Amino acid sequence: MTDASLSARALEGLLGDWRTGGLGGARDAAYRALAERVRLLVLDGRVPVGTRLPAERDLADRLGLSRTTVTAAYRSLREQHLLHSVRGSGSVARLPGVPTRLPAPPAPDYVDLSKAAPPALPWLGEVAREAAEELPRHLGDSGFDPVGTPALRAAIADRYTARGLPTEPDQIMVTIGAQHAIALLTRAVVGRGDRAVIEAPTYPHAYDALRVAGARLVTVPTVPQGEPGSADDGEALATAFRHANPVAAYLMPDFHNPTGRSLDEPARERALDAAARQGTVVIADETIGELDIDRRVRYLPLAAYGPAVMIGSVGKTVWGGIRVGWIRADRPLIRRLLAVRTPGDLGTPILEQLLVTRLLGRMDEIVELRREQLREGRAHLESLLAEAFPEWDVPHVDGGIVTWVNLGTPVSSQLALAARGQGLIVAAGPRFGIDGAFERFLRLPFCYDAATTDAAVSALARAWRGLPAAPAPDPALSLAAVV
């Protein structure tokens, strides 16, 4: 939940041309149209849950309406449980349920698109055998390694340096995947009751980790790539840093999951400058940061533009079954992380570190292979969706592994439930928001082979055709554990 408030001017900008649709100037039609547009903004996450809406009189003056019309619109939103009003405290956006997760797939033959991760590299087994042959040289040690082997830390540092961010091995901690890195950082940086900025939508397990640490979440809407306002993300982040004074922020600057948006250089500099002024620790997740398909510009890692902690892993480039990630940070923070880590685990497995050390030496080759696979997968998915769902808005992302589809109507959870009945597991939009927002969106990965994508889209089409007869979802139910 956020601590933000929305001015009448800001809400007017989000409303857009809400009066269209043959309203004819009738008062009841005007309040219904206003309530419907605000409802969609809340469901889509453009007005984050917990945001205080402008006072009725202020909004009426800004929109040129009678206060009676705005009062009726707010009353309609309260009746739909989308607004909570307290006398003297204003009206706050809300949603009627908190999502949970359905159990694992009911049958092994289900197509599972809730995991946005490519299959393993074709020659991974060969490299694993080579790493195993190297293992005997390390058997004389205890095997407990809370910071990472020197060879792997040097390989990770060299990779950052080659990408334009000079790095020394003692700035690296090796972790058990990126999610482990996020959890360690939140425990080291965030105290109970501290504010933390996250994008909305965002990677669900990141806000889960922040909530476990006791953070009060301040959401900043992320505009999907190519939509009006997407160039203003840096200013929106800077404003959140100045107003909320958060201790930490979790960002995905490149090929954002799920929207695909990348921050341009001015946005990176603006956001990091504001964060530095407030003392905010920016945590940049770049687990898919190198998966550029055809972006026309090359950006440096975020920490090259200002103070930022970097998180990486091989889960989205090599294979999710290799549980190795890392943190790049300044040396004092690495020491703090060591203190936080020891009570929870005793280090990353040595054999997997040996494997990843070898893989990092071939990372250019790996990225090029993934780039070609993703280019083909993106084209195939876009073609299938255009034929099966011409009414959907499918953005053409220039990198990453997913696309954030706008269904045009807030039925994402209902569609995902119907898809289960057709043998498909897919992540509904609300899983990427706070307390159930983004019902008009569906995250679809394009990192699978053509046969899997064919089967998935066919199942989705059957579910979509049967949607009017499908039961409405329980508002306390989300639809998949996601990666």
CATH number (domain holding residue 443):
3.90.1150.10
Residues 319 and 377 grouped into a single domain: no
Domain boundary among 361, 388, 408: 361
Residues 315 and 175 grouped into a single domain: yes
Residues 252 and 335 grouped into a single domain: yes
pLDDT of residue 89: 74
- Residue 390's CB: how many other CB atoms inside 10 A? 8
Retrieve residue 450's tokens: 């053509």
pLDDT of residue 97: 58
Domain boundary among 361, 387, 422: 361
pLDDT of residue 454: 98
Q: Phi and psi (nearest 5°) for 105?
A: -50, 135
Question: Which of 185, 236, 243, 242 lies closest to 215, judged by CA?
Answer: 185
Retrieve residue 416's tokens: 């995902």
Beta strand 281-285 with 309-313: parallel, antiparallel or unpaired? parallel
Residues 264 and 350 grouped into a single domain: yes
Q: In Å, what is the CA distance from 393 to each residue of 135, 227, 322, 407? A: 50, 11, 35, 7
Domains in the chain, number: 3
Structural domain span for residue 410: 111-116+365-469
Residues 198 and 297 grouped into a single domain: yes
Asked whether residue 102 is domain-assigned, the answer is no
Residues 336 and 427 grouped into a single domain: no
Q: What CATH number does the domain containing 82 carry? A: 1.10.10.10
Rounded CA-CA distance 72/266 in Å is 42
Residues 74 and 184 grouped into a single domain: no
Torsion region of 415: left, alpha or beta (phi above 0 gives left; psi -120 to 50 gives alpha): alpha
- pLDDT in single tens digits along all 483 residues of the chain: 455 788 999 898 888 777 754 344 455 688 998 998 898 888 777 788 888 999 999 999 999 999 999 999 999 999 988 898 877 778 999 877 544 344 555 667 889 999 999 999 999 999 999 999 999 999 998 999 899 999 999 999 999 999 999 999 999 999 999 999 999 999 999 999 999 999 999 999 998 999 999 999 999 998 876 665 455 778 899 999 999 999 999 999 999 999 999 999 999 999 999 999 999 999 999 999 999 999 989 999 999 999 999 999 999 999 999 999 999 999 999 999 999 998 889 899 999 999 999 999 999 999 999 999 999 999 999 999 999 999 999 999 999 999 999 999 989 988 998 998 899 999 999 889 876 689 899 999 999 999 999 999 999 999 999 886 544 444 444 445 677
Residues 20 and 52 grouped into a single domain: yes
Q: For tokens 């933000």, name the residue.
A: 4
Domain boundary among 312, 334, 361: 361
Residue type, 257: N
Residues 346 and 412 grouped into a single domain: no
Residues 444 and 311 grouped into a single domain: no
Asked whether residue 135 is domain-assigned, the answer is yes
pLDDT of residue 87: 75
Residues 320 and 435 grouped into a single domain: no
Retrieve residue 191's tokens: 């105290």
Rounded CA-CA distance 207/430 in Å is 13
Asked whether residue 105 is domain-assigned, the answer is no
